[in-house]
Amino acid sequence: MNDEIPGRAASERRRQVAAARRARALERSRARREAAAVRRDQVLERSRQRREASRERQEASMERARRERHVSLLDLVDRLLDGGVVIHGDITLAVADVDLLYVGLRAMVASVETIERTYGVSLSARGASLSSSAL
């Protein structure tokens, strides 16, 4: 009977160690989920703020156009670049109902600031070697 007690104690100790490892792993997993939730909330808040700022700029631009009752080409281009515009087209060259050439066009026209703000893509060249004084 004395031989069984050390074996049981070792087995119990292994179970306790395994349970402690599982508890630590669960705690780490919970902490990672909480951190991911915080990051997701921050991204959603920044996105909401960008949408709200864009909406305010659009409203200000529309109000200015209503006041002035005319829109100059510069205002129109400014609005298009601020909001962005997608151009989509297809061209097919055919002779005797035989398609010889197909060209598909999809282009997005927007300002660099709009693309960076809306999509979070950094297009600006920043760096010491690219500054105007270095050139």
Domain residues of the chain, as ranges? 1-70, 72-135
Mean pLDDT value of segment 42-46: 91
Using an 8 Å Cβ cutoff, are 57 and 82 in contact?
yes
Position 30 confidence tier, pLDDT thresholds 50, 70, 90? very high
What sign results for the dihedral spanned by CA atoms 63, 114, 109, 133?
Answer: positive
Task: Say if pTM beats, i.e. exceeds, 0.85.
Answer: no
**What pLDDT is attached to residue 84?**
80
**What pLDDT is attached to residue 1?**
46
Mean pLDDT value of segment 97-108: 88
